[in-house]
Amino acid sequence: MATRLLRTNFIRRPYRFSALKPVGPPTVTASTAVVPEILSFGQQQTEPPLHQPNEANHHDIDLTDQARLFASVPTSDLFRSTAVLHAAAIGPMVDLGSWVMSSKLMDASVTRGMVLGLVKGTFYDHFCAGEDANAAAKRVKSVYEATGLKGMLVYGVEHADDAASCDDNMHQFLRTIEAAKSLPTSHFSSVVVKITAICPISLLKRVSDLLRWEYKSPNFKLSWKLKSFPVFSDSSPLYHTNTEPEPLTAEEERELEAAHKRIQDICRKCQESNVPLLVDAEDTILQPAIDYMAYSSAILFNADKDRPIVYNTIQAYLRDAGERLHLAVREAEKENVPMGFKLVRGAYMSSEARLADSLGCKSPVHDTIQNTHACYNDCMTFLMEKASNGSGFGVVLATHNADSGRLALRKASELGIDKENGKIEFAQLYGMSDALSFGLKRAGFNVSKYMPFGPVETAIPYLLRRAYENRGMMATGANDRQLMRMELKRRLVAGFS
């Protein structure tokens, strides 16, 4: 069987109290660490200088009072968090870790054990929610009880290449739903699924090619296609498919039917358990098939007119994101299907640019970060307006960008949105942007932490991959590490005074 780990961003150390109480007023908990203004689960924009007064921040998010931010963090955890985040910001350190993990050192049991032990006690414990669904559920409970932040449970598998692995992953997702169901509904917001984990990558590529060709050639018919919402717009990238693809073979059709059954079994379990399901996004070479399966599942399982079960993900860094979102919403309203959307900025900028360049085409990603911000905020405003009019739409705003958070606060006030009814919520990665999470929580929003889990050995490639992809962002998150250093220094001085 061939299963690979989920590609997602960093997560964090458990929230807990210690016999060693930190100096300072009681508030936040755990290793409140980086608070960069990043692109969804990806890139960063500039933060105001440390300690510079900012009236907007004063009223919604205060990122300057390190004693208050880290008040409930045990000093030992704060020290480890500072060390881990500094290490993640050092490019050569990430390169060294990647080399060690792929070297022959991992073939010898002694050195392998030493490396795994070191990783578990540092990066893994800092960024991962646990080794299985039950451990992750306990972490969700402890986080909520300490902070009021909810959890999104994410089984940390990236994709599978054969039917046996897909079946195994499906059962893991079902166990994740059971773990979420065991929690009070106030403690968690949703579970997350990767279609790439329950349908072979090769088949998703084939289905995406055929869907693109159908869009290019309206007379081209797909006999196996289920009812869905639009997955393309006039500005969508279609360069992946330049010639008419071969039809699916009988075996491929059986594989696709099996993949549909897996996602439908997961959706049915979520529907029975009243657990919302968020479908994660991928590169554009696969995304048409993922959108198709997400929307076809939503049509079948979003029967509750007040709150959807199935949420699809829109990546605002793509040029066609706004158009596709509008088309999908229009069709959902026409069919009277309540739809959920998770809005992110995007995490595959480099791979998208490389593929487009290799084909002599323009990247599907916006040219500038400002355009991405504008697209995200436009989509966010549109979805908030839809959710405010009683249409049954659900919205998860996954962002580490404080400006988007402030805009959402203003828009919610303008629209008179009930911020606690669950139709609109924010999400940040577990282990990142806790100050933003707490600020949004204090403003009245439901806020969740995206909490992947999985065995240590399985999680290591994920940690290295995300450290590598985000080391530039981590390197520019100096304000956050400076706050942590300042708090450590304050405690040290207080301890000797």
The CATH number given to whatever domain includes residue 304 is 3.20.20.220
Q: How far apart are CA 341 and CA 313, in angstroms?
A: 6
Interval 212-251: pLDDT, tens: 999 999 899 999 999 999 999 999 999 999 999 999 999 9
Q: How far apart are CA 325 and CA 322, in angstroms?
A: 5
Higher pLDDT, 460 or 108: 108
Q: Which domain covers residue 202, as residue numbers?
A: 130-453
Task: Report which of 243, 241, 309, 244 is spatially closest to residue 274, judged by C-alpha positions.
Answer: 309
Higher pLDDT, 58 or 106: 106
Q: Is 261 left (phi over 0), alpha (psi -120 to 50) or beta?
A: alpha
What mean pLDDT do residues 152-173 have? 92
Task: Report which of 416, 413, 362 is spatially closest to residue 389, judged by C-alpha positions.
Answer: 416
Q: Are 436 and 415 in contact (CB under 8 A)?
A: no
Angle between helices 402-415 and 369-388 (to 10 degrees): 30
By mean pLDDT, which of 32-46, 196-210, 464-478 is the weakest?
Answer: 32-46
Residue 284 has pLDDT above 60, yes or no: yes
What's the pLDDT at 40?
A: 40
220 within a domain of the structure (yes/no): yes
What's the pLDDT at 170?
A: 97
Q: How far apart are CA 211 and CA 222, in angstroms?
A: 8
**Residue listed under structure tokens 């939503």:** 298
Q: Which residues pair with 231 in a beta bridge?
A: none
Task: Report which of 97, 192, 202 is spatially closest to residue 466, judged by C-alpha positions.
Answer: 97
Same domain, 352 and 430: yes
DSSP 45: E
Here the tokens at position 400 are 């580490």
Same domain, 124 and 134: no
Extract the runs of DSSP E, i.e. beta strands, from 409-445. 424-429
Interval 397-422: pLDDT, tens: 999 888 898 899 899 989 988 887 77
What's the pLDDT at 106?
A: 84
Same domain, 484 and 408: no
What mean pLDDT do residues 333-352 have? 93
- The band of 342, judged by pLDDT with boundaries at 50, 70 and 90, is very high
9 within a domain of the structure (yes/no): no
Same domain, 212 and 146: yes
Task: Report which of 485, 434, 494, 476 is spatially closest to residue 63, judged by C-alpha positions.
Answer: 434
- The band of 437, judged by pLDDT with boundaries at 50, 70 and 90, is confident
Q: Which residues contact 256 (CB under 8 A, 6 or more apart)?
A: 199, 203, 207, 224, 248
Please count the CA atoms within 13 angstroms of the CA of 485 that sit on its side-chain side: 11
By mean pLDDT, which of 38-52, 107-121, 179-193, 471-485 is the weakest?
Answer: 38-52
Same domain, 309 and 238: yes
Residue 361 has pLDDT above 90, yes or no: yes
Q: What angle do CA 147, 151, 152 make, to 5 degrees?
A: 160
What's the pLDDT at 18?
A: 32
Higher pLDDT, 393 or 392: 393
Same domain, 112 and 191: no
Q: How far apart are CA 403 and CA 424, in angstroms?
A: 17
Q: How far apart are CA 58 and CA 100, in angstroms?
A: 45
In Å, what is the CA distance from 313 to each residue of 40, 236, 244, 251? 12, 16, 28, 29
202 within a domain of the structure (yes/no): yes
Share of the chain above pLDDT 70, in %: 82
What's the pLDDT at 470?
A: 53
Task: Indicate the pairing of strand 188-193 with strand 277-279.
Answer: parallel
What mean pLDDT do residues 303-307 have? 79
What's the pLDDT at 319?
A: 97
What mean pLDDT do residues 177-196 have? 96
What's the pLDDT at 307?
A: 85
Q: How far apart are CA 1 and CA 23, in angstroms?
A: 51
Average pLDDT, the chain: 83
What mean pLDDT do residues 432-461 have? 83
Q: How far apart are CA 399 and CA 40, in angstroms?
A: 4
Q: Are 86 and 22 in contact (CB under 8 A)?
A: no
Same domain, 115 and 192: no
Here the tokens at position 23 are 């100096």
Residue 462 has pLDDT above 70, yes or no: no
What's the pLDDT at 348?
A: 86
Residue 35 has pLDDT above 90, yes or no: no
Same domain, 392 and 414: yes
Q: How far apart are CA 385 and CA 387, in angstroms?
A: 5
Q: Are 298 and 290 in contact (CB under 8 A)?
A: no
Higher pLDDT, 472 or 485: 485
Q: How far apart are CA 480 and CA 488, in angstroms?
A: 13
By mean pLDDT, which of 69-78, 103-112, 446-455 is the weakest?
Answer: 69-78
What's the pLDDT at 43?
A: 41
Q: What is the CA radius of gyration of the chain?
A: 22
What's the pLDDT at 480?
A: 64
What's the pLDDT at 51?
A: 36
Same domain, 269 and 389: yes
Residue 322 has pLDDT above 50, yes or no: yes
Residue 269 has pLDDT above 80, yes or no: yes
Name the domain count of the chain: 2
Q: How many CB atoms lie within 10 A of CB 206?
A: 20
Higher pLDDT, 449 or 18: 449
Residue 54 has pLDDT above 60, yes or no: no
420 within a domain of the structure (yes/no): yes
Amino acid found at 388: S
What's the pLDDT at 118?
A: 84
Same domain, 71 and 149: no
Residue 472 has pLDDT above 60, yes or no: no
Extract the runs of DSSP E, i.e. beta strands, from 82-204. 150-155, 157-160, 188-193
Q: How far apart are CA 95 and CA 423, in angstroms?
A: 42
14 within a domain of the structure (yes/no): no
Task: Indicate the pairing of strand 340-344 with strand 394-398.
Answer: parallel
Higher pLDDT, 98 or 343: 343
Same domain, 181 and 218: yes
39 within a domain of the structure (yes/no): no
Residue 136 has pLDDT above 50, yes or no: yes
Same domain, 177 and 90: no
- The band of 497, judged by pLDDT with boundaries at 50, 70 and 90, is low
